[in-house]
């Protein structure tokens, strides 16, 4: 399940060929920029899944980093007990650890006002830390948080999103996915999460898993091997990109690569996309992962590929006269070789995406490297329809 290793060079930003009102993306991939920016890992997961336990574990492990922790508390009250728990457990050499509790509301609703201000405030203490962990409330939707680090000029210039780690409770996660167990059903939630009465229930657990770069299936001690296997299978069917680790008491043996320095948004390694050979699973009726495999692009097709992405992500439809059901993309990653030797790397969260190219990577014809892969995670993602639409778009005017 742990798949990750590649010697690929760090990608650089390419400039879009047209000026088509693309959001002003801030590349986290420029070598020098990335080095001077502070990485942030978002830790999300259901109420009681083990987020605080994970923070305590990280802060007491030897990792040679000075870590700042931001707690995003839900509601008006500050969870004093939780802050003390983490502070007291900090026996690491990294000190002091500034705590910035976000007292007012869930970060997904008010991140512009509260979350950004707290992070900017924290950045004034720069030099006191070299890594940020943001623990979100159990009800947060990470899809609203992640694009901020691309789109907010202020934030994007000083920090970069390293990755999203989602904790799930092995004992309760299937219930959460099937019944929305643990979700507070407000009217707003019902509208946002389940707007179409005929669609299967979209729960907070789905949102947290579909956006994850790493899923920790915690509380493994509370379930049998067989139950654990079913949980792994279900999560893999929702999010085929995430690396999955089972833990007890949130103890991740290897923090580097799994929690810290994941580089989930500035690299797209071939190994990240390797699960795709296992095919499209419909184990979860609500969200699935689709992999579109297609031949490497001719240079003139790059603009067409971009058009496909824009139409899909910004207009919520598929180009090329392909019929499809309603869909919603949560996360996408792609690795697209071009016949002139370049390789395009694509990253996206919801309707925000970024396309970079690797420098001078030669492709060997007739090998796996020659194959382009686009992986999509979301609702209503019909692999065949998406592939047909992409191929139809690439064929036009080429």
Ligand X SMILES: Nc1nc2c(ncn2[C@@H]2O[C@H](COP(=O)(O)OP(=O)(O)OP(=O)(O)O)[C@@H](O)[C@H]2O)c(=O)[nH]1
Nearer of residues 51 and 245 to ligand X, judged by Cβ: 51
CA 379, distance to chain mean position in Å, is 16
Instruction: Retrieve residue 86's tokens.
Output: 């983490």
Q: DSSP letter for 102, please.
A: B
Q: Judged by CB, which is closer to ligand X: 171, or 304?
A: 171
Closest separation in Å from C-beta 365 to ligand X: 49
CB of 378 closer than 8 Å to CB of 312: no
Cis peptide before 355 (omega within 30 of 0): no
* Cβ-based nearer residue to ligand X, 219 or 373: 219
Residue choice 45, 105, 142, 182 for contact with ligand X (CB under 6 A): 45
Task: Provide the minimum distance between the beta carbon of 275 and ligand X in the complex, in angstroms, as a whole number.
Answer: 25
From 43-51, 88-96, 230-238, 372-380, give the range in contact with ligand X by CB under 6 A.
43-51
Beta strands 328-337 and 67-71: pairing type? unpaired
Nearer to ligand X, 138 or 147 (CB): 138
Q: 86, 55 in Cβ contact below 8 A?
A: yes
With CB under 6 A as the contact rule, which of the stretches 42-50, 113-121, 142-150, 336-344 interacts with ligand X?
42-50
Q: Residue 319: helix, strand or coil by DSSP?
A: coil
* Least CB distance to ligand X at residue 83 (A): 11
Backbone dihedral angles phi then psi of residue 297, each to the nearest 5 degrees: -90, 145
Of 17 and 88, CB closest to ligand X: 88
Residue 104's φ and ψ, nearest 5 degrees, are -105, 95
* Nearest distance, CB of residue 95 and ligand X, angstroms: 22
- Give the residue carrying structure tokens 């019944």: 179
Q: Residue 217 burial (CB < 10 Å; 0-12/13-18/19+)?
A: buried
138 touches ligand X (CB under 6 A): yes
342 CB-side CA count, 13 A: 18
CB of 302 to ligand X, least distance (A): 43
Rg (CA), the chain: 21
Tell which one of 29, 41, 44, 53 touches ligand X (CB under 6 A): 53
Of residues 203 through 222, those in contact with ligand X by CB under 6 A are: 218-219, 221-222
Binding segment toward ligand X, per CB under 6 A, in 46-54, 203-211, 342-350, 388-396:
46-54
288, 321, 328, 358 from 349: Cα distances, Å:
15, 25, 11, 20
Q: How many residues does the chain have?
A: 398
Kindly give the pairing relationship between strand 38-45 and strand 159-169. parallel
Binder among 52, 172, 176, 288 for ligand X (CB under 6 A): 52
Q: How far is the CB of 397 from ligand X (least distance, A)?
A: 52
| Closest approach of ligand X to the CB of residue 208, in Å | 11
Question: Which positions from 222 through 241 interact with ligand X, judged by CB under 6 A?
Answer: 222
CB of 236 to ligand X, least distance (A): 20
Residues 327-356 that bind ligand X (CB under 6 A): none
Tell the smallest beta-carbon distance from residue 171 to ligand X (Å).
8
DSSP label at residue 113: I
Which of 38, 47, 109, 313: binder of ligand X (CB under 6 A)? 47
Q: Minimum CB separation from ligand X for residue 110, in Å?
A: 18
* Encoded tokens for 10: 């760090």
Q: Does 48 bind ligand X (CB under 6 A)?
A: yes
Decide: is 50 part of the binding site for ligand X (CB under 6 A). yes
The string of DSSP letters for 122-155 reads HHTTTTS-SEEEEEPPTT--HHHHTTHHHH-HHH
Site for ligand X in 239-298 (CB under 6 A): 248-250
Residue 84's closest CA among 96, 73, 99, 102? 99
Q: Angle, to 10 degrees, between the axis of helix 383-395 and the axis of helix 302-314? A: 140
With respect to ligand X, which residue has the nearer C-beta, 107 or 355? 107
Count of residues near ligand X by CB under 6 A: 16
Interaction site with ligand X (CB under 6 A): 45, 47-53, 138, 218-219, 221-222, 248-250
């Amino acid at each position: 399940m742990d798949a990750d290793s590649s010697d690929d060079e760090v990608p650089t930003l390419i400039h879009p060929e047209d000026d088509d009102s693309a959001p002003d993306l801030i590349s986290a991939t420029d070598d020098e920029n990335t080095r001077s920016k502070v990485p942030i890992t978002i830790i999300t997961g259901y109420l009681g899944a083990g987020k605080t336990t994970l923070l305590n574990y990280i802060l007491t492990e030897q990792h040679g980093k000075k870590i700042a922790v931001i707690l995003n508390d839900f509601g008006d009250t500050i969870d004093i007990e939780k802050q003390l728990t983490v502070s007291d457990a900090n026996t690491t050499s990294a000190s002091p650890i500034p705590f910035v509790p976000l007292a007012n509301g869930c970060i997904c609703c008010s991140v512009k006002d509260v979350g950004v201000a707290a992070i900017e405030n924290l950045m004034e203490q720069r030099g006191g830390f070299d890594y940020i962990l943001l623990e979100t409330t159990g009800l947060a939707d990470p899809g609203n948080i992640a694009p901020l680090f691309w789109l907010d000029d202020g934030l994007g210039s000083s920090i970069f999103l390293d990755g999203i780690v989602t904790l799930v409770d092995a004992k309760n996660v299937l219930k959460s996915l099937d019944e929305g167990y643990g979700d507070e059903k407000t009217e707003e939630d019902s509208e946002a999460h389940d707007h179409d009465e005929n669609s299967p229930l979209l729960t907070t657990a789905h949102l947290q898993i579909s956006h994850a770069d790493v899923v920790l299936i915690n509380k493994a001690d509370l379930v049998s091997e067989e139950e654990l296997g079913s949980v792994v299978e279900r999560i893999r069917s929702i999010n085929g990109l995430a690396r999955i680790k089972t833990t007890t008491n949130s103890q991740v043996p290897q923090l580097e690569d799994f929690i810290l320095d994941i580089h989930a948004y500035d690299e797209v390694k071939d190994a990240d996309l390797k699960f795709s050979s296992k095919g499209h699973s419909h184990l979860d009726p609500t969200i699935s992962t689709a992999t579109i495999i297609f031949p490497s692009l001719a240079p003139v097709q790059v603009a067409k590929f971009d058009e496909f992405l824009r139409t899909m992500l910004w207009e919520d439809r598929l180009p090329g006269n392909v019929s499809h059901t309603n869909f919603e993309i949560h996360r996408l990653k792609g690795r697209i070789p071009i016949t002139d030797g370049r390789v395009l790397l694509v990253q996206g969260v919801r309707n925000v995406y970024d396309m970079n190219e690797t420098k001078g990577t030669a492709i060997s014809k007739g090998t796996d490297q020659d194959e382009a892969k686009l992986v999509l995670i979301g609702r209503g993602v019909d692999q065949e329809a998406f592939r047909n639409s992409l191929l139809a778009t690439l064929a036009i005017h080429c």
